[in-house]
Amino acid sequence: MDELTIALAQISPVWFDRKATLKKVCATIADAASKGARLVCFGEACVPGYPFWLEYSRETAFNSAFHKAFHAEYVNQAVCIEEGDLTPVCELARNSKIAVYLGVLERPPDRGGKSVYASLVYIDTEGSIGSVHRKLVPTYDERLTWAAGDGNGLRTHKLERFTVGGLNCWENWMPLARTSLYAQGEDLHVAVWPGSERNTKDITRFIARESRSCVASVSSLMRKSDLPSHLPGIETVIENAPEFLANGGSCIAGPDGEWVIEPFCNEEKLLIATIDHKKVREERQNFDPVGHYSRPDVLELNVNRKRQTTARFND
């Protein structure tokens, strides 16, 4: 009962192609389930891919026709949960009895349907969507295409003996965002990234030691050869891009901060490991950040989990 097998899906999205990427996601979920995994995780904005054109276009002009063209197609390829885009993933999760953490570019109707969010979606083993966490603060140039999210998705989920939660990319550097999950009993933390070992190699072990939890960092992979040729202006991006726009670096650390799987780079791969809840309980003996080593009478966190909307209608 203490052991849980988890899978990290370090795959390349079919950039700017929602349907093709979801097909690849489903094939990976089926593969993970066949190998005994009870949870499979994908990188940030895996569907339909991270907005790498922002960095590698070197284009910064306001009202840029280049950015407008890319953004328009990016929104077009975004996931709309309400329109059933994730239904095949949910059905597969239910049929395979596997939970899924999937990073998507979300186009939510409750915010007008034209702005997009880097959202982390949790789907349980019954195929139900348990939470949709919209990234609180897009990082640096991401703000040119992603909108800021809210606290509605700061939630944890029971998965056998573990309580699992997750954050997007640099949210994992936000102490209060992490604490909001710790306070809900999180002992398996999923950190999703667009890719690259530079993001995962230090913070994965740091969060594990701070929280005394198992921590899984999962990244996508993106090579110059993965960039499609049909997008207007893609030649500029290809010219400026390195061989690896994102080299992966997916990894798992145990609650003692030591590696279960060291950062894996430069290849698409399904990484699988079995983690042990007993080790979490052992490490909490001398430090529990929201239990015996906390002082709620002195320090207290308030979290607003209300879903933000521009208008509320009383009909």
Q: In tens digits, what is the pLDDT along the chain, a chain of 315 residues? A: 899 999 999 999 999 999 999 999 999 999 999 999 999 999 999 999 999 999 999 888 899 999 999 999 999 999 999 999 999 999 999 999 999 999 999 999 999 999 999 999 999 999 999 999 999 999 999 999 999 999 999 999 999 999 999 999 999 999 999 999 999 999 999 999 998 999 999 999 999 999 999 999 999 999 999 999 889 899 999 999 999 999 999 999 999 999 999 999 999 999 999 999 999 999 999 999 999 999 999 999 999 999 999 988 999
User: Dihedral (C-alpha) 69, 107, 88, 228: value to the nearest 10 degrees?
Assistant: 20
Q: Which helix (H) or strand (E) holds 180?
A: helix 175-182
The answer to whether 220 touches 46, Cβ cutoff 8 Å, is yes
Distances (CA, A) of 164 to 45, 124, 181, 216: 19, 11, 9, 10
- Residue pointed to by tokens 């995994």: 37
Three-class secondary structure of residue 263 per DSSP: strand
| Ramachandran quadrant class, 16 (left: phi over 0; alpha: psi -120 to 50; beta: rest) | left
Task: Report d(CA 13, CA 203) in Å as an integer.
Answer: 24
pLDDT in the model for residue 58? 87
The answer to whether 263 touches 241, Cβ cutoff 8 Å, is no
What the block records as the tokens of 142 is: 């991401």
- Residue pointed to by tokens 């009993």: 185
The answer to whether 200 touches 170, Cβ cutoff 8 Å, is no
pLDDT in the model for residue 312? 87
pLDDT in the model for residue 74? 97
pLDDT in the model for residue 59? 85
- Residue pointed to by tokens 């960092």: 217
Task: Report d(CA 133, CA 119) in Å as an integer.
Answer: 5
User: Dihedral (C-alpha) 278, 282, 283, 285: value to the nearest 10 degrees?
Assistant: 140
pLDDT in the model for residue 60? 82
Helix, strand, coil tally for the chain in percent (to 5)? 30, 30, 40
Class for the domain spanning 3-283: alpha beta
Q: Bridge-partner residues for 162, per DSSP?
A: 159
DSSP codes of every residue in 109-170: GGGTSSSBEEEEEEE-TTS-EEEEEE-SS--GGGGGTBPP--STT---EEETTEEEEEEEGG
Domain segments of the chain as ranges: 3-283
Residue (of 260, 158, 170) closest to 216 by Cα position = 260
pLDDT in the model for residue 120? 98
pTM for the structure as a whole? 0.96
| Ramachandran quadrant class, 279 (left: phi over 0; alpha: psi -120 to 50; beta: rest) | alpha
Instruction: Output the CA angle 81-83-89, nearest 5 degrees.
Output: 55
C-alpha 51: how far from chain center: 14
User: 50: which residues sit within 8 A by CB, 6+ positions away?
Assistant: 13, 43, 44, 194, 195, 220, 222, 246
User: 276: which residues sit within 8 A by CB, 6+ positions away?
Assistant: 2, 3
